[in-house]
Amino acid sequence: MALRGRIDGVFDGKLRGWLWDPDDPLRRFSGRILLDGQPLAEVRGDLPRPDLEAIGFGEGGGGFEYALPIAVQDGAMHEVRLIAEQLWIQIELDRLSLPLPARLHMLRGQLHGIVGGHCSGWVWDAARPLDRVTVELVQDGQVLARQPAGLRRLELARAGIGDGAHGFAFDLARLQPPLAEGARLELRAVGGHGEWTLGAVTLGVGQVRPATPTPSVEPVARMSRRRHLAAIRKAEAEQNLAGAVRLLEAALLDYADDPDLLSIRARIHLAQQELEPAERLASAVLRDHPGHERATLILARASTALGRHEAAIETWRAIGPHDAAFRERVTKRARSLIALQRQAEALQEAAEAVRQRPGDVELLRHLALTAEAVGAPRAALAHWRRLLDAVPDDPAGRARIRTLEQSLTPATEQALASPLVHAELRDWPGPLEAWAGAEAAWPLPGLRLRALGMGGRALGMGGRAMVTPAEPRQLRPGDLPGYGLLLRAEGSGAEIGFVLASRDPLRMALETQAWAPGPGLVLVLRRTDAGGAEAGERELARIEPPLRPALHRFDLAPDGLEREAAGLELVLRIEGAGALLLRPPRPLSRLRTAEAVPVPQGFECPELALPPPSARRDSGRRADALMSLATPFTSIVIAAPPEALSSIIHRVLGGTAAPFECLLAVKPDWPEALTAALRALAALDPRLRLLPEGAAAATGWVARVEAPPPGGEEWLCGLHREAARRGRAEAPGVLLSRAG
């Protein structure tokens, strides 16, 4: 399981979103909505979403909607969370703060006018879809009659509005005292949370007791079918779907079985993602009018979006190669065939389409994509090359060819290893930070810190330097968090040296961000003798770190003298007082020769940059203000029975403000379903690592958790404050100590 979900927002009073698992794309999942931390509703992701299907989220059937209570639609900002729970694992899939537009009701309806002595229309409460809304007939503020809107209307049922029984009709001849000609009547709907005026009519001559049932007020009712269609299509072309629906409802009163009108209504349902009403209407049209082209296309689209693959395959078959929707037929029919595990038929379908339209480049593209989807990469490569022969400048085709060629070529080169002795900061011993003066300090093995005096050399006086781990960040999905350093110099400057473990020529990257406007940074390659004393140095680069995160490239290419030295250090030197956020230099690529390759200056890569620091940029802040940044990397070992895992893991992963990984030893006697759910959660969150029973014990700072830890997001930082003084710390259900 790799469940994913999102809250899209609030639309017309309804909270919309989706739930979907790429490992189980046809299954429908349930979730819980929390509003401002309080449970609001249970939702199920079983509504069709063609927009999700279009971007590859299965068949797009994981949508949900929830009509928000009127009481919470107050125009204020609210926090909305989507929580899913499977087996014993709770996962927060999405959280956002958004305004809920103020509304007084969620009523919808229409006043049709006076027909046959009856004032008629319909009204429906979207917040209570099966309730009957009371309608009042009012004249000069006085209620003349009242009735529930409960008459069944065919057009409402076809449109999927409630259960279709939401119409009303007032018999004007029964009102007492009798109404006079010219009287103005107002229709008002009374819902659970307010009133809504549907409209008003004025009585004309003979409308109270008409001689014939012919409508005399509603101008739309007198329109011909041709004029109806023209008006509806004009509203559609202007993207006025609400107006098109109103015109259709009026037209269907006179032409209830017209296939073109019903097909257009089905098409609007489809455009509004109301797929089941669209499917029902299109099916009804085809039952009475077999072969109707528009209804066939709409039914095929709706069946595909609803995941009814067998029906979709048969319906799309009616769309021929000369039809404007033929490309769509080929694409969506192939998707349905693949979903039914009929890969060979899907590939044959795509190949036949190319044969029927040999000059259609998009069908050739679809054939290549289908070959990839059914697991035929070599065939896909051949089709992409055919596409590139037809369209030499196609960038997508070139990219796919490169990707396939790489996937079909065995990898020969291993990932680059860092040349630094200490390339990461996971084992930062703490307790919080390291200070140094002229005498060098070694905060970590392979990491030297010292302050500089006059002339940039270490002296007995002249200042001091501080270094502490900066906040964590994740380089790419699947990696454990990486860490930076906050280097602060007082006096004439400071330097931090990274001892090199290898002499390979490499192109390196250094990420920096100036804490405040200040001095520049010099990169130096220093030789040391067997005792660690300086034996010479060479300047590699000078950098002016900007206030925004930036990535600087430089070449680390030791010369003959440096390769023969007893030791090498890569030194980063601040020239003057100031503070700097930086990350340990890391390799980008190998240099093919030992000679340095010119590197363009000003190279930046925002996606690799450090995030802005969460603490205040105040050069005079005390060390305890950096507590959450300087907390050492911690291994959180979960030791609890299976029934307690959900709350503990959710608490640990849900907001611990410290660098950590969560370790859980999986026992063979646990239920297979629980083990599978834990594996899926570990795939979603790289901070959770599952270990086999009997795995080696964690080293460094270890927090053993037997019960949900108290203290909110700061519980681990608080324990480290105590451990900084005593070497270990305890809280109910938690023990923090340093191991190994």
Q: Would you state the pLDDT for residue 163?
A: 81
The mean per-residue pLDDT over the stretch 168-174 comes to: 87
Q: Is the pLDDT of residue 10 over 90?
A: no
Q: How confident is the model at residue 363 (pLDDT cuts 50, 70, 90)?
A: confident
Please check whether residue 36 lies inside any domain of the structure: yes
Q: Would you state the pLDDT for residue 207?
A: 63
The mean per-residue pLDDT over the stretch 500-515 comes to: 85
The mean per-residue pLDDT over the stretch 399-428 comes to: 72
Q: How confident is the model at residue 104 (pLDDT cuts 50, 70, 90)?
A: low
Q: How confident is the model at residue 499 (pLDDT cuts 50, 70, 90)?
A: very high
Does residue 153 share a domain with residue 30?
no
Q: Is the pLDDT of residue 288 over 60?
A: yes
Does residue 130 share a domain with residue 210?
yes
184-193, 422-431, 476-485: segment of lowest average pLDDT? 476-485
Residue predicted with more confidence, 27 or 602: 27
The mean per-residue pLDDT over the stretch 425-433 comes to: 63
Q: Would you state the pLDDT for residue 212?
A: 39
Does residue 136 share a domain with residue 17?
no
Does residue 635 share a domain with residue 535?
no
Please check whether residue 543 lies inside any domain of the structure: yes
CATH code at position 8: 2.60.40
Residue predicted with more confidence, 545 or 686: 545
Rounded CA-CA distance 369/402 in Å is 14
Q: Would you state the pLDDT for residue 500?
A: 92
Most confident range, picked from 530-544, 576-590, 719-733: 530-544
Q: Is the pLDDT of residue 611 over 50?
A: no
The mean per-residue pLDDT over the stretch 304-311 comes to: 84
DSSP for 649-716, please give it. Answer: HHHHHTT--S-EEEEEEEPTTS-HHHHHHHHHHHHH-TTEEEEETTPPPP-EEEEEESSPPSSGGGHH
Please check whether residue 195 lies inside any domain of the structure: yes
The last residue of a domain, from among 78, 99, 120: 99
Q: Would you state the pLDDT for residue 658?
A: 67
Rounded CA-CA distance 484/652 in Å is 23
Q: Is the pLDDT of residue 584 over 60?
A: yes
Q: How many CA atoms lie within 13 A of 214 on its CB side?
A: 8
- In the numeric block, the tokens 């998707």 are attached to 335
Does residue 129 share a domain with residue 23?
no
Handedness of CA 373, 378, 379, 382 (dihedral sign): positive
The last residue of a domain, from among 164, 189, 217: 217
Q: Are strands 660-666 and 134-139 parallel, antiparallel or unpaired?
A: unpaired
Residue predicted with more confidence, 204 or 5: 5
Q: Would you state the pLDDT for residue 592?
A: 61
- In the numeric block, the tokens 């603490």 are attached to 615
Handedness of CA 448, 451, 457, 461 (dihedral sign): negative
> Among residues 532, 564, 531, 515, which one has the least CA distance to residue 450?
532
Amino acid, res. 422: H
CATH code at position 451: 2.60.120
* Number of structural domains in the chain: 4
Q: Would you state the pLDDT for residue 478?
A: 41
> Among residues 693, 730, 691, which one has the least CA distance to residue 711?
730
212-216, 555-559, 587-591: segment of lowest average pLDDT? 212-216
Q: Are strands 634-638 and 700-705 parallel, antiparallel or unpaired?
A: parallel
Q: How confident is the model at residue 589 (pLDDT cuts 50, 70, 90)?
A: confident
Per residue, the 3-state secondary structure of 32-47, as one string, reads EEEECCEEEEEEECCE
Q: Is the pLDDT of residue 524 over 90?
A: yes
CATH code at position 653: 3.90.550.10
At residue 155's C-alpha, the angle toward residues 302 and 237, to 5°, is 60
What is the C-alpha radius of gyration for the chain, rounded to an integer number of angstroms?
35
Q: Is the pLDDT of residue 127 over 80?
A: no
Q: Would you state the pLDDT for residue 214?
A: 37
Q: How confident is the model at residue 171 (pLDDT cuts 50, 70, 90)?
A: confident
pLDDT over 90 percentage in the chain: 4
> Among residues 260, 212, 193, 682, which one has the least CA distance to residue 480?
682
The last residue of a domain, from among 80, 99, 118: 99
Q: How confident is the model at residue 609 (pLDDT cuts 50, 70, 90)?
A: very low
Q: How confident is the model at residue 216 (pLDDT cuts 50, 70, 90)?
A: very low
Q: Would you state the pLDDT for residue 571?
A: 93
Does residue 467 share a domain with residue 611?
yes
Q: Would you state the pLDDT for residue 630?
A: 56
The mean per-residue pLDDT over the stretch 699-709 comes to: 82
The mean per-residue pLDDT over the stretch 508-535 comes to: 84
Q: Would you state the pLDDT for residue 205?
A: 66
Most confident range, picked from 243-252, 294-303, 332-341, 625-634: 294-303
Q: How confident is the model at residue 459 (pLDDT cuts 50, 70, 90)?
A: very low
Domain residues for 484?
434-623
Residue predicted with more confidence, 700 or 45: 45
Amino acid, res. 557: A
Q: Is the pLDDT of residue 297 over 70?
A: yes
Does residue 619 share a domain with residue 636?
no
Please check whether residue 390 lies inside any domain of the structure: no
Does residue 585 share a domain with residue 644?
no
> Among residues 265, 304, 262, 300, which one has the least CA distance to residue 284?
262
Please check whether residue 522 lies inside any domain of the structure: yes
Please check whether residue 341 lies inside any domain of the structure: no
Element (H, E) at 352: helix 343-356
Q: Is the pLDDT of residue 346 over 90?
A: no
Q: What does pLDDT average to over the chain?
A: 77
Q: 639-696, pLDDT tens digit by residue?
A: 887 777 877 887 787 766 667 788 888 888 888 888 888 887 877 777 788 888 778 7
Does residue 583 share a domain with residue 562?
yes
311-315, 593-597, 631-635: segment of lowest average pLDDT? 593-597
Q: Is the pLDDT of residue 350 over 90?
A: no
404-431 in b/e burial notation, b at 16+ Cβ within 10 A? beeeeeeeeeeeeebbbbbbbbbebebb
Q: What is the pTM of this model?
A: 0.41
Q: Would you state the pLDDT for residue 638?
A: 87
Please check whether residue 407 lies inside any domain of the structure: no
- In the numeric block, the tokens 């409960």 are attached to 150
Q: Would you state the pLDDT for residue 640?
A: 80
Does residue 201 share a domain with residue 66?
no
Does residue 156 share a domain with residue 87?
no
Rounded CA-CA distance 335/308 in Å is 11
Residue predicted with more confidence, 487 or 274: 487
Q: Is the pLDDT of residue 595 over 50?
A: no
Q: Are 640 and 666 in contact (CB under 8 A)?
A: no
Q: What is the dihedral of CA 507, 509, 510, 513, to 10 degrees?
A: 150
Q: Would you state the pLDDT for residue 56?
A: 67
* 3 state DSSP class of 328: helix
Residue predicted with more confidence, 292 or 644: 292
Q: Would you state the pLDDT for residue 208?
A: 63
The mean per-residue pLDDT over the stretch 340-345 comes to: 78
Q: Would you state the pLDDT for residue 612?
A: 34
Helix locations, 70-223, DSSP H: 154-159
Q: Is the pLDDT of residue 541 over 80?
A: yes
266-275, 381-390, 536-545: segment of lowest average pLDDT? 266-275
381-395, 504-518, 713-727: segment of lowest average pLDDT? 713-727
CATH code at position 180: 2.60.40.10
117-126, 590-599, 683-692: segment of lowest average pLDDT? 590-599
Please check whether residue 450 lies inside any domain of the structure: yes
Residue predicted with more confidence, 703 or 176: 703
* 3 state DSSP class of 210: coil
Q: Are 652 and 715 in contact (CB under 8 A)?
A: no
Handedness of CA 453, 454, 456, 459 (dihedral sign): negative
The mean per-residue pLDDT over the stretch 114-137 comes to: 84
Structure tokens at 227: 């004029």
Q: Is the pLDDT of residue 568 over 90?
A: yes
Q: Is the pLDDT of residue 624 over 60?
A: no
Does residue 676 share a domain with residue 583?
no
